[in-house]
Amino acid sequence: MQTPVEMAQVGGRTVYVKTVAVADLPKDVQASVPGRTQLYAVHDEAGEQLALVADRKMAFVLARQHDYAPVAVH
């Protein structure tokens, strides 16, 4: 699953990647990812979610492709 985002509009150069439980997401998002228990969110420095992707590697690649420095949040 990929959620499109215009990352060039983001202010800072650091983004944060964190695990998100599918059960905590809105029902329409849950319905679009059957069989998954977690996704990975990319957030800007202010905490705004920029993207929601299927795996951690994809989140880091997405950030780097847009010249951002991804950091894992534990």
Check: CB of residue 25 under 8 Å from CB of residue 8.
Answer: no
Check: CB of residue 44 under 8 Å from CB of residue 8.
Answer: no
Q: Can you give the pTM of this predicted structure?
A: 0.80
* pLDDT, averaged in runs of 10, over the chain (74 residues): 55 88 96 96 93 95 94 89
pLDDT of residue 43: 95
pLDDT of residue 74: 76
Q: Could you state, in order of their start, the residue ranges of all structural domains in the chain?
A: 15-66
